[in-house]
Amino acid sequence: MKERKAIKDRFKGKVAIVTGGSSGIGRAITEELCKEGASVAFSGISDIGLDTSKELTDAGYNVLFRRGDMADEKFCKDLTDNTADKFGKVNYLVNNAFSFTAKGLDATGGDWERVFFVGPVAYARMAQNVVEHMRKEGGGAIVNMSSISAFVAQVNRWTYNAAKGAVHTLTKCMALDLAEYNIRVNSVSPGWIWTREVYKAAEITGGGREKMDPVWGEYHMFGRCGEPVECAGPTLFLLSDDASFITATDLPIDAGYQSMGPEGLGKTAAFAGSE
């Protein structure tokens, strides 16, 4: 498992909201923010968040967990209000929760509604909710979780990829409108990361992580899939003052996935030195 060295007290006295912060990339972001001094409110749709909250609280961190569905407009508002009530302010928002609804020709109206209302619509709602809190603090930062799927065609993924593509454009529009309030808005786009959905896909193939990591790794220049914590560091950078002149930007966290093209690592390696 990959680890990163926390920057001590970088977010001391700051308050962050991380949606979908119970597991996977969201959990890694929540934990790394805590390690760097932030108080963190996070949401989750299952009781896994209770375990995450206990682990972080037992470790001495200041957290607030709220279980709920990000498609619920009232829950989005309650999450923001509960955070401000407990911690007194909101400085950062990480919109991470997303429905992995991957359908193509078989997509129903319910599928489209689910992926958009848990994804870009909830992202927009959360931004609307936190703006006034951030303005009171003189500004803030928002990071939206996008994906390589926002930029490429993938089989049977009309719903998921369209929704992630919407996040990419939404981020730019948010950034333009919120700049006058000194609120920066950026996105990150992970490649294949060992999260619940990727583990599930590995199990379906019958290969598991050990077998599938080098296979799927050929889509990335490092020859492996990424770890959730490798998405946390770049996200924290975009939240931090080190990114004070960065907004409306997407940061790929994909080990070159978008740059390699169809040849992939395997074919590239095969032709290396063949002249």
Q: Show which residues are catalytic.
A: 160
CA distance 86 to 21: 18
Closest CA to 181 of 130, 144, 145, 146: 130
Closest CA to 68 of 45, 94, 96, 40: 45
Tokens 């997303």, located at residue: 98
Residue 226 and residue 210 in contact, taking contact as beta carbons nearer than 8 Å: no
Q: Structure tokens of 269?
A: 């390696």
CA distance 244 to 151: 26
Q: Classify the phi-psi angles of 99: left when phi > 0, otherwise alpha if psi is within -120 to 50, otherwise beta.
A: beta
Q: Structure tokens of 248?
A: 């409306």
Q: Structure tokens of 43?
A: 């949401």
CA distance 69 to 46: 9
Which residues, at least 6 apart from 21, have a Cβ–Cβ distance to it below 8 Å? 27, 29, 30, 40, 42, 43, 44, 49, 52, 94, 96
Residue 186 and residue 143 in contact, taking contact as beta carbons nearer than 8 Å: yes
CA distance 241 to 39: 17
Residue 80 and residue 133 in contact, taking contact as beta carbons nearer than 8 Å: yes
